Structure formats: C-alpha cells, structure tokens
A and B are shown apart, each in its own frame.
Chain A
Amino acid sequence: MTPNELLMWLSARKEGSWPQFRAAVENLGLDDLAGEGSEDASLPLHQRVRFNLERLGHVEFDTPESENGWRVVPPALALCQHGAAATAVLCGARSLPLLQRIEASVAGMTLERISLQDCPDVIRVQLGDPRSLEELARRAGLFLQLDTPEAILSRLPLISNLDQWPRCDLPAEGKEWDVEQLTIERKRMAWKSVTIQCANAPDADGLFRFTRFKTPEYFLRQEQETMKIPGQIGKYYVLFRRKRRVLRYSRQDLTLSVPALFRPPPLVERALILCSGMLPRLSDSFRRWRLTYQDIPEEIAGMAAEVLRQELL
C-alpha cells in the first residue's frame, strides 16, 4: 500500500481506531527513515505519517469526536489568495471517482499532483479567478474554504492564553520517566536532562518534558502552578516570556522559517502549509536545523506571529 492508497483506505473506512491506523501504516512498505534534525526523526513511521496527514488537513486524530482514533475530513478545497492569483489545495477524503470528477472539472485551471515523502500526493489547483473555484467545488462535490490560512489563524486563541489548559501535578516518581527541561541560554535553545526531583522542586519554573515509552508529556510550571500543555504551545509560551524571537520571514522568497525545535502548533502549521500545500522544507544551516514554509504571504506570516506571540525577524 502506498500513502495514496492509505488515504483511499482511510476515506473508505471514514473513521477508526488508532491501532487500525497503525496497522495500516505498517502495511505501507515505507522505509522507517526520517530526516535528521527534525523532531520527527525520532518518531516511528506511523507517527510521521499521522502528523503529515494531520498537517495537510486530510485526517484528524484523537479529537473529541474521534477519541483515541481518527476520522477523515470531508473532501474540501482550501483556497489561499496570493495577490491576484490563488492556490487551492485538495484536503480530506479521496476516492477514485472523486479524483476523476475533479480532473474533469478543472478546465482552464492548472491541476498539479506533487509526490512527497511519507504522505499522499499533494493535489492543488492554480487559478487566476477564485470565483471559478466555487463552480469547480460544486461540480466535483467538494466543500470549499475561502481564505483558509486567514480563517484558521484568526480563530485561534493566542498561545499566551493559558486558561484552557488543565492544572495538574507533575509525575513525582517512576524510574522509566526521562525528564528534560527546555533551556534557553543565549543563542542555544535545547532540551536538557534534569532529575525528576529537580522538576518537582517548589521553585522549578519552565517547560518540562516527561517521556516514557517514547511518549512525551509536557508540563509548564510557573508561579507555583503546573499545567499540562501541548509541547509546541509550551515552547512558544516560554519564548514569549523570555522575549525570544525565532520566526524569520523573507519578503523576497515569501518563506517563513523557524528552528526545527520550534515547530509551530498543529493548527498554526496547517494554516502555513495550506498557503502552498507543501510540507515545510528541512534545512541545515551551520548544524542548526530549520523548517521553512513556502509561499507564505506577508500578512499570513504576521497573523501566525501574532498567534504565537512572536515578532518576525
């Protein structure tokens, strides 16, 4: 089974359990190799495929309606305006008849199919007039989302809003825990191993990662409070508090890059990816790995920076 067939399989099943998904990925016959430098490098194949499907808006995992499982997103065209032109990326469920309908309906537009590693082909439509997209969506039976990156980013809470994250206690004991703290010293930002006692010290402050059986859990400690928080949001919150800027935008190349350690939270990343339909490029600059998102309009970069409480470099 190829990643394209995997998406067909997911679309045919519509929803299922996490073990089912993992078993299906096992059947992909892909190499379990990931690029060095990325945090994905340490992830097994099924996690990398899962994140790619999630980032491209094909499948949602472990949401309230698909707890401990997955559910495929209805097929939709995600439009992103680039000045006068626009790009529409096909997201969600796929089937052969659906793809045939799309191909039959794109007269006058450019349909591209791009193969990527560990994820289904990117199918996108380049068009001059976004209004023609509505007709395409209607004919092919697709949902249509206009101004997708803006629509997503404008609805997300700022990462500095911590009210939504549950307060809890840190794991206090257990040999299997691998405990690390996010440290920021001058230009060096990295995870540093600490003892479980250090993490539980009354004056401990910052973001802690507790890993057991390759499954990390993140805890943010500040002002005597401990909360369980998604890792990426926790990292950007620490950056916000330390007033460190990591988002670099190039107006010339229309690229937004971040250190690989600071991959944006999932929905922010989805918004950035749907500007072009392409996954971020991993590049190495003096042994510092960076993720670069392509074709990002300046306004979108600004919106993402605002959500992440960052200022663009």
Chain B
Amino acid sequence: MTPLLIVLITAPAVYWIYRRGRKLDDASTRARPRGQSAVSDPARLPEFASRRDPGDSQRSDISDQRQQETAGRKDADPAQVAPQYSGEPSDAEANDAQSRARPPTEDETRSAEKVTVAVVADGLGAGASGELPLEDIEPQLQSPDHVTSKAIFPLPWSDSDGLSVEFVGNGQKLDGPPQGDGAQPDSPHALAIEAEPGEAGLLAAEAQAQDRPEANADRPLQRYRPPVQKPPRAPATRTRTGTSSRLSQTEAPLEILVHLTFDRSSFCTIGFLPRAVPDSSQDVQVRSGREVWQLLAQEDWFQDIQAENMGDRLRTGIELRGALSDQRGVRWLLKGREIYVLAAHPRAAGYVSAPRLLLGRTDVVLCVEELACEVESILAAAGCTGYRRIGDSVGVPRGWVGFRGVLPTNALALDPGTDSFYALKPAPDIDIALEDGVCVHNSAWLAGFPPRIKIYGQMNGIERVLIDGKMAARSSEDGSLIADGYDQIGEHSVYCEGLTRSRTYSIEAPPDSWDQWTAYRFASANICGPLVQLNAGAEASRPITVPMSNPVLVGAAPGEIFHCSTRNVGRWKGFVPFNVVWALPAHPLTSNKKTARVIQFADIPISISSDFGKRAANWCNAILDASRKGLRIESDFADAAMLWREYRTAARRLWRAQR
C-alpha cells in the first residue's frame, strides 16, 4: 500500500518540478548556502527529509528528490523512514484544517509563516539554526496553505542523532504530527528540524559565517507582511511542553526596530535598534553579511547601529547574527518593508518603529518613493493634515520619502485579506498612554515628574475618563488629562467609562537620604564625588598658604619641619601634618636680608621633647640659620620677637645637648 501511495504522490510532483524548471533551480540555489551553513553532515539531509510528515507528501517528495540529488543518494526507502507518530490534533485544529482545504489565494500562500530549518548533527545551537525565507524554500517546504499549528515531537532516531522534527505554525507547537485532515497532502504544516545546542556546532557555524560573509549578504531576507484580516477563532487548547518552550526561545529571532531621530536642524538620522537579549546585559559582536558591529547593551535595546546603504536595508530587511559569551547563538531580524510608521517611545529618544498609526498620536511615516502618492492619499483619508514631506536632503535614505507630523484623526477600515497599507490605517481602538515625566521603573513615576496621560483612538465610545474616580480634564498646556491629585504620591488609575479600558500607575517619593561611600581609595584618603574621607591616622587640618619664598615650615615641637614642594607659583598651598608656627626661607644664610623674612603663622609656645633625631636636627638648623642671618619677622601677633627668641634659644640648647 505504501509504495503505491508513494508512486501516486511522486508522479505529480515530478511533473510539477518539470514545469517549474529553472525557477525551481534558482530557488534552490538561493536556499543552498543557508542549508550548507546549517547542516554539518549533508548526507543526513535526505534522511531527515524522508522522515517528515508522510501526509505532507507533495512537499515531502519534492524536497526529498531535490535533496537526494544534492546528496547523490536516491535509494531512500520511504517505508523504512516512515515516522512513528502519536497524538491527535484538537477539534479546533481539525476544523481549522478542514476550513482551509480550499485552494489558497495568493495572499494566503504568501502569508504562510516562515519555516525553521536548523539541522545539525552533533550539536547545533540556535545561533546556527535559522529561518529560511519563504521564497528561499519554495516550493520544497512551503505549505500551500496557511500554517495553523506548530508541532514538535521526538523522532524515533532523534536520540541517536540529536535531531527532532518540528511542525511549525501560528506560534504553537503540537505534541505530535497532525492526523486526519492535518495529514492530507495539503496539510497546513510546515516542517522544522532542530537539534540540541552545542558549543562545537556553534563555533563551526560561527566560523563558517565569518569565512563566508557573502553567504549571508546575498541571501534575501524575509519580507514583512501585514497581518491577514480574518474573523477571530477559538484559540488552540494545546499546552506547551517545557521542551518546546526552550526550543522556541532559541530559535526565535529577536526584534530589530527602526530608530529615527531629528537634530536641531531637523536633519534626521535613521538606525536600527536590536532588542536586548533576555537575561543578558552583555555587549555582543554581530555580523550581517560583510558588516560587523559591536552591539552595546542598554536596558531594552542595544545601542542603535547604522548600516551601509540604509535605504536598501530598510527595503529588504536586515539579519544580525552573533554569539553570547556562553556560546549561545543569537539572531536578530528585521523583515523588509516598504512602509514604516515610527512613533515616539517612552524609553527612547526620537521615533521608533510601531505597527501602525494611532489616532491622535503624531508619528513619522517612511515609505518608498514609488508609494508616496498612495501613502499621501491614505493619510488624507485618515484626516492627516499639516504633515511635512521630507527627503534625502534632510537625511532620509535615497529611494525613501518621509512624512513628519502625521496626526491621524479618522479610523480607516482595512481591506479584506491582507491590506498592504495596514500600517497607515489607524484602528478605532482606545489606548491610554502614559508619556514623559520621570519613570523610575515600570509604571512608577517620580514625585514632581508625573506622566502625561493621553488617550489615543476613537473617542466616540467613551462616556467619560476618570482618574482615581474623578472626572479628568484636559490640561491647557499640552492637552493631556489631569485630575485633582493625579500627581500625588500613591497608586492611581485611569479609566475610560463606556469602553472599560483602564490603566494604572504610581507616583513614588524620591529617597530622603543617600549613604556616603567610597569610589576611589588612596593611601591617606578615600574620595567620592567632592567628598574626601581621611583614612585612620591621617591628620585632619586646613590647608596652609605660604609664599614660595618661605618654603620651610616649622612647628612647635622639634622634628616638626616640612619642606614645601617646588612650584613655579607665587604662593604654595597644601596640607601640613602639624600646626605651622614659622615659615622660613629655604636658604636663609644666602638670602637677601632686605627682602627675606621669617613669617609667623601661629602663637604657639615651644614644646621641648627629649627625642632627637634627624628631623629634630633639621628643625634646629632651620631656626638657627634664620636666626644667624637676623631676618626680619613678619607677624600679626603681639610679642612675635619674644616668641622667636624662645624658639632660637630652645633650638640652640637642643643642638648643643646633642653634640
């Protein structure tokens, strides 16, 4: 029975390949470099391909055949590699699959989600795994229908090879492959194969990427696609396993936002803001094609980066790859698009890419030149007036046009299916925004710097807005909503009556005290800001200023002598470890008696001690030399001459006693 089925399925597939001819070859050529970078053992490719969902026969066989050709293996026995499935799809999924058994529209075909292919033997982490662009893998793996579920389950041989097969769709992972409708040839399941992350594989993939940057550079990236408009359906009730959660974390690319800032002269700068890696604050070196950046970590994002030829990057998208210090691979992806809406963000300066325009919010729109007329007509329909068109003369990338100050006032209905201008058509939804102020953390603002409360969206349905149960009024300054006590310390809530939309925030008091701490440690003191904390044993004193003509400072006790350092200034200032009584010339015996003098700083009687060392000898010599020269005494104290005589007598007595 199985061989018959294979023949029945293979024959139309071969005919289909023949029809596609060269197009298929081109597509496979584009996909090949990526496949090579992800597959450590190419010989395993046909094997994994043949072990996929048997119900997905058309896709399976086409890809099987191509991969067999690639690997030079055409002897795969489907009977031997038939997967051992278990598990049943939910009713919701079965119904969903049935409802989509009809032929797909062009939009639906294109909207099939990206297919993750990460094949590794002996270890390949998320860093080396990747999502093939839909165009790249078409038609081998692309489902002709919507991908509606995502399944991951162990393969019989996954233990030995470290491989597993993953059915991807709608962000869900199933416990097993689809059965029933889901196993039909037009099954809405894409295929993904993953492996356990491993250091060797990561390093190999990284090295490979570095050796052949052109492999990434030439590969087209996924295009952004606006969400498809369809009626809501019941969410799937499958529960995720711990394994699937872990795998989805490693495979999912992190977001890249577009960041636009205007300087004072209204010149704009556009960059990319890669989303911060969860649970990591380290800087990461990343690569995209031949360009390399060092991503500098910030709280929510890395510091924005500028790429060569931003216009092309915006249009085609950008993918960054790097490895964390723990060898985890990490990937960022911005899908290319032709229209960007950029909105102010509470955590970033300037404007950051947003899904779509919001009623009442002033945004910036970037679009490719070809769409400028259509964009302007839609903006007009949305009630946008007074915006300004900007071009490459103010920094907008070539081939792009910007619209600054776009303030929509009318909600616009979306076209059925996929609306190419989804981003430009504001929804009537209500959004309570807390902007500006000083946000200390999460939804807590600093007292004195409360948030500006704004409501965006269609206000028709709102009966009234309440802040802490009090009717809100519009501020005359900026039109934000205020109410009595909305900026006082404590918890606050904003409530839109009629639409049951609410949001809470709190105002926190600033700290009342800050501890003294040590930033820099030195031998005699610690410094923190302007504060100098002396270490134990260091004498606290006020600085003394002396003329550089009198650099020898003596105190009241023998041995208290200090020589000021040489500076080419008129006055020396510094700290001396004793109370200075006299300032003497450096060489009194050779000094000019008319100008040289002894300066008295304090009126402290001499304190004689019996200790006599080198410092005491120097102390005696300095006083006796100044005395022998008969230098004039400069003092503001009474009886300066008498005190000087006492010092001279004591120095002479001490000197003689030690001879």
Contact = CB atoms under 8 A, between A and B. Distances in A.
B412 to A, nearest CB: 31
A74 B529 contact: yes
A92 B569 contact: no
A267 B527 contact: yes
Contact of A312 (B441, B508, B527, B568): B568
A147 B542 contact: yes
A78 interface: yes
Given A302-B567, A302-B573, A305-B567, A12 B446 contact: yes
A65 B518 contact: yes
Interface string A134-146: 0000000101011
A156 B571 contact: no
Interface stretch (A179-187, A233-241, A282-290, A293-301): A293-301
Nearest to A175: B292
Contacts of A156: 522
A73 interface: yes
Nearest to A63: B519
B299 A300 contact: no
Contact of A143 (B264, B436, B440, B516): B516
B514 A152 contact: no
A31 B516 contact: no
Contacts of A46: 303
A73 B532 CA distance: 12
B532 A12 contact: no
A114 interface: no
A20 B299 contact: yes
B281 interface: yes
A75 interface: yes
Contacts of B350: 29
A73 B531 contact: yes
Contacts of B269: 32
Nearest to B264: A31
B264 A151 contact: no
B388 interface: no
Given A60-B519, A74-B531, A155-B522, A12 B440 contact: yes
Contacts of B447: 96
Interface in B424-443: 436, 438, 440-441
A206 to B, nearest CB: 27
Contacts of B519: 60, 63-66, 71, 73
B495 interface: no
B15 interface: no
Contacts of A17: 281, 299
B349 A213 contact: no
A11 B297 CA distance: 22
Interface residues of B, number: 65
Contacts of A148: 530, 532
A72 B568 CA distance: 37
A184 B301 CA distance: 42
Given A267-B520, A305-B567, A26 B348 contact: yes
B438 A8 contact: yes
A57 B510 contact: no
Contacts of A23: 298-301, 347-348
B530 A14 contact: no
B510 A97 contact: yes
A66 to B, nearest CB: 8
B527 A298 contact: no
Contacts of B157: none
A41 interface: no
Q: Chain A interface mostly helix, strand, loop or mixed?
A: mixed
B298 A95 contact: no
A41 B517 CA distance: 32
Contacts of B446: 8-9, 12
Interface residues on A, range: 35 or more
Nearest to A89: B530
B525 interface: yes
Nearest to B522: A155
Interface in B565-590: 565, 567-575
B378 to A, nearest CB: 29
B573 to A, nearest CB: 3
B513 A141 contact: yes
Contacts of B449: 5, 8
Contact of A302 (B518, B524, B569): B569
B401 to A, nearest CB: 24
Interface in B523-559: 523-525, 527-532, 542-543, 545
Contact of B514 (A78, A92, A176): A92
B296 interface: yes
B294 interface: yes
B512 interface: yes
A76 B530 CA distance: 7
A27 interface: yes
A96 B510 contact: yes
A1 interface: yes
A145 B511 contact: no
Interface in B443-491: 446-449
Nearest to B263: A31
Given A11-B510, A12-B508, A96 B530 contact: no
A202 interface: no
A11 B511 contact: yes
Interface in A73-105: 73-76, 78, 89, 91-93, 95-98
Given A74-B516, A303-B573, A91 B530 contact: yes
A19 B527 contact: no
A124 interface: no
A155 B527 contact: yes
Sort A-B residue pairs by CB-CB distance and give the 9 closest, nearest first.
A73-B529, A299-B573, A78-B530, A213-B294, A302-B569, A95-B510, A23-B299, A57-B529, A302-B567
Given A33-B264, A65-B519, A302-B572, 12 more contacts: A14-B514, A26-B298, A44-B303, A63-B519, A74-B513, A93-B511, A141-B512, A152-B527, A152-B532, A155-B523, A156-B522, A306-B567
14 contacts: A1-B436, A8-B446, A11-B514, A13-B441, A14-B514, A17-B299, A20-B299, A26-B303, A27-B348, A74-B528, A92-B514, A152-B532, A155-B527, A298-B569
Interface of B: 261, 263-264, 269, 276, 281, 285, 292, 294, 296-301, 303, 346-350, 436, 438, 440-441, 446-449, 508, 510-525, 527-532, 542-543, 545, 565, 567-575
